Amino acid sequence: GDSVTQMEGPVTLSEEAFLTINCTYTATGYPSLFWYVQYPGEGLQLLLKATKADDKGSNKGFEATYRKETTSFHLEKGSVQVSDSAVYFCALPGGTSYGKLTFGQGTILTVHP
Phi then psi for residue 82, to 5 deg, are -55, -35
109 near another protein (CB under 8 A): no
- Give residue 63's identity as a one-letter amino acid code: E
- Judged by CB under 8 A, the stretch of 16-24, 40-48, 61-69, 73-81 that binds another protein is 40-48
Residues 6+ apart with CB under 8 A from 88: 6, 21, 35, 36, 37, 38, 47, 75, 106, 107, 109
CB of 51 to another protein, least distance (A): 4
Nearest to 75 by CA among 60, 94, 96: 60
CB of 59 to another protein, least distance (A): 12
Binding residue for another protein (CB under 8 A) from 24, 76, 101, 110? 101
Site membership for another protein, residue 62 (CB under 8 A) = no
Binding site for another protein (CB under 8 A): 31-32, 34, 41-46, 49, 51, 89, 91-101, 103-106
